Amino acid sequence: AQSVTQLDSQVPVFEEAPVELRCNYSSSVSVYLFWYVQYPNQGLQLLLKYLSGSTLVKGINGFEAEFNKSQTSFHLRKPSVHISDTAEYFCAVSDPGFKTIFGAGTRLFVKA
Amino acid sequence: KAGVTQTPRYLIKTRGQQVTLSCSPISGHRSVSWYQQTPGQGLQFLFEYFSETQRNKGNFPGRFSGRQFSNSRSEMNVSTLELGDSALYLCASSFRTDFTDTQYFGPGTRLTVL
């Protein structure tokens, strides 16, 4: 069975500082990995995805993530955050059977 | 291209009632998935429909059901509502034409059960 663990429930950070949101997964089959962002009172928006190929994936809003197969991780990074990045971020894993499992979420709080 | 739409956006019901939520996917998308989001349990998969057939199902009681129409629009029904059914219900659509499963989410329906 697949599982996704987001290691931090909350991450406070100052504006213009770098941030890393951690995600580890477990699966016995090849998977596809995703990061989504959810702003208050909205649905989820896709930030980026890893399907195959280069392990460094660039997404929208300046975010990027690195797939590390040996460590089964897919951490999300941004070199300089803005107030507007305050939101909840979800890591997700999907297998060829089309089931998607989401992590519990990490609340990013950017302080001025 | 219009995004995923969900109606209604907000709903208040009382225990024992039933409710129907609607989801219209992005044009051309044939797969619709439903999720329940609560502060305690996070995002939990309810079920997925593809070409009017339920293809995947999560671990929810039979009170939760759904269907998909020929135009890919989907409805979710919850009967005999319980307080614990209060949640944000999210719908997501995708092409589902290959092994990837990039889903596009609607804004959700917030259900409050009193």
Inter-chain CB proximity A96 and B4 less than 8 Å: no
Burial A75-106 (b: 16+ CB within 10 A, else e): bbebeebeeebbbbbbbbbbbeebbbbbbbbb
pLDDT band at residue A72 using 50, 70 and 90 as cut-offs: very high
Nearest by CB to B107, from A42, A51, A104: name it.
Answer: A42
Distance CA(A41)–CA(B109), nearest Å, equals 10
Contact residues, chain B, for A99 at CB < 8 Å: 45, 48, 56
- What is the distance in angstroms between the Cα of A102 and the nearest Cα belonging to chain B? 6
Q: Which of the residues A98, A99, A102, A107 would you substitute to probe the B interface, choosing the one with the greatest number of B C-beta atoms within 10 Å?
A: A98
Question: Sorting pLDDT into bands at 50, 70 and 90, what band is B101?
Answer: low
pLDDT in tens, A12-70: 999 999 999 999 998 777 778 999 999 987 889 999 999 888 889 999 999 999 999 89
Q: Of A5-9, B72-76, B101-105, which gets the smallest average pLDDT?
A: B101-105
Does B97 have pLDDT greater than 90? no
- Residues A44, B45: Cα–Cα separation, whole Å: 14
Quote the CA–CA distance of A30 and A67 in Å, as a whole number. Answer: 12
A51 touches B at CB < 8 Å: yes
The string of DSSP codes covering B78-104 is: E-S--GGG-EEEEEEEE--SSS----E
Residue of chain A whose Cα is closest to the Cα of B56? A99
Q: Does A60 touch chain B (CB under 8 A)?
A: no
The C-alpha of B89 sits at a distance from chain A's nearest C-alpha, in angstroms, of: 9
Which range in A20-24, A44-48, B40-44, B104-108 is most confidently predicted, on average pLDDT?
Answer: A20-24
For residue B49, give the chain A residue with the closest CA. Answer: A98
* Average pLDDT estimate for B53-62: 91
A46 touches B: beta carbon within 8 Å: yes
Residue B47 contacts residue B57 (beta carbons within 8 Å):
yes
